[in-house]
Structure 1
Amino acid sequence: MDGTPELAAEQLPAPRREPVQKRSRERYERMLASATEIIAEMGSHAMRMSDVAARAEVAIGSLYQYFPDKAAIIRVLAERSHAECRRCIVERLAGVETIEEFRVGFREIFDEYLDMFRAEPVMRDIWSALQAEKSLAAVEMAESRASGRVVADILARLRPTADRRELEESAFLVMYLGETAIRLASSQNEEDGRQTTQAYSRMALRELLDEGAKERA
């Protein structure tokens, strides 16, 4: 989208390893929780590895055993946030059988996204951190591709004559830009935020259902 090349997963910042034993797992989760608190309080730009270790009450060496740098921490937090958003898409759209049901479910996705952001404001900070860390730009791109494929799979069933490649590209664009719309809505008051998500849903549905073509005909 912005000229940043899409990187393979193995090229992106990632944790060195994930613990298996209960005690190590608890320490790992404490590190992530501490990083989340710091991002929420001061932003990702102010997060330092030494601060994460101090707040988690672990030695800095223990932190580096799992995370080579702060970008790796942000990636894990972002992927967890993305997994929750993907769950929302699947739950809202998996059972739809008609275009009208798709419309309703799609609008509910963005309403739920907004509720999630309001309940967990740090999600907005984590997504902003992806933009701040150039090495992580591909993480958001990959997630938009993945969530777009989920939407495209459902649309292909509802619109069997549509071009599959066009469906995937439209769905990718809609999901990528949808993150920006939700960040905007979450920074507004309740009424304006809902209006923003509703306006975006209307525009997105016109693109996904190719209603512009009908208007031009």
Structure 2
Amino acid sequence: MPDMMQGLGRRSLRRVPKQERSRDRIDEILKVSMQLIGQKGIDAVTMKEIAALSGGPIASVYQYFPNKSAIIAMLHERYVDDVRSLISEHVGKISTPEEALQATDVLFDLYYHRMRERPSTQDLLNAIQADKTLADVDIAETRFQAEVFFGATKQFVQSDQRDNYLRTLFVMFHMAAATLRLALMVPAEEAAKIVAQFKSIVRTQSTFYFTGSFPASV
């Protein structure tokens, strides 16, 4: 994990919870915050409202989170943990180039469906991009994810092409997030075509690195 990703959300906490009751309180604050972000957008959410709907006085929010940015940082950290678990579960199963190609499709589909099921995640990611520190952290996380996938698949790529392959993975992981955001903003029929097109591009580029040539159908 990159140094800048070492517990940014936890470092933003004013007070580190040690008891289960305190951890439960933080969980409830984060749950309510995510719901409000999905309902109203990040700019319209207030600390006072978070406190009221999470079942406690505003002081009980401020004792853990100094401001709304700290809440966003913690939400982002949990989002990252979720994505990392998803990636780790699938890259660990890769043993052939075809399995690597299938993994890119499966990961994208899983991520896409999760985003559709949790629309507030879209608002969270938009808020992250609006915060310079968190945006930098998000880029570092994208790089980390690309490196994890690279580590699981580099054996399928000629050694003199591996640096290029890693850079391509970094771009593809970044563009995957952008493609998802776009797909979630357009009608479902158009979204399906956009997703299919992106997956085709990824498969075509990956096939080139794995075989030395583009698929015959291209």
Q: Normalised by the size of structure 2, how large is the TM-score?
A: 0.85
Q: What is the Cα-based RMSD across aligned positions, in Å? A: 2.5
Separation (CA, whole Å) in 2 of partners of 1:140 and 1:61: 30
Cα distance per residue 1:103-158 (max 9 Å; x no partner): 11111111111110111111111111111223321121121011111111122122
Listed as ranges, the matches of 1:133-148 within 5 Å are: 133-148=131-146
Shift of 1:90: 2.1
Matched with 1:54 is 52
Query: 1:50-73: CA deviations, max 9, x gaps?
Result: 221122122222212211211111
Bigger mean CA offset, 108-117 vs 186-195 = 186-195
**Which letter maps to 1:66?**
Y
In the alignment, is the contact (CA less than 8 A) between 2:101 and 2:206 conserved in 1?
no
2:105 corresponding residue in structure 1:
107
Counterpart-to-counterpart distance in 1, 2:8 and 2:135: 9
* Correspondences of 1:10-159 after superposition (within 5 Å): 14-159=12-157
SS at match of 2:159: coil
3-state DSSP of counterpart to 1:19: coil
Check the 8 A contact 2:8/2:77 in 1, yes or no.
Answer: no
Once the two structures are TM-superposed, the CA of residue 87 in structure 1 deviates from its matched residue by 2.0
Deviates more, 1:59-68 or 1:70-79: 59-68
One of 165, 187, 196 as aligned partner of 1:198: 196
Aligned AA for 1:73? I
Letter paired with 1:180: A
CA distance in 1, matches of 2:7, 2:99: 39
Residues 1:185 and 2:183 are matched in the alignment = yes
Q: What's the CA shift for 1:93?
A: 2.5
Percent same amino acid among aligned pairs?
28
Q: Which residue of 2 aligns with 1:3?
A: none
Residues paired across the two proteins, number:
210
Code of the aligned partner of 2:62: Y
Match of 2:169 in 1: 171
Q: Say which is worse superposed, 90-99 or 115-124, in terms of deviation.
A: 90-99
Distance 2:67 2:54 in 1: 16
8 Å CA contact retained: 1:155, 1:167: no
Unaligned runs of 5+ in 1: 1-5
Closer, same or farther in 2 for the Cα pair 1:90/1:11, shift >3 Å?
Answer: closer
Q: Structure 2: any 5+ residue segments left out of the alignment?
A: none
Distance 1:58 1:104, change over 3 A: same
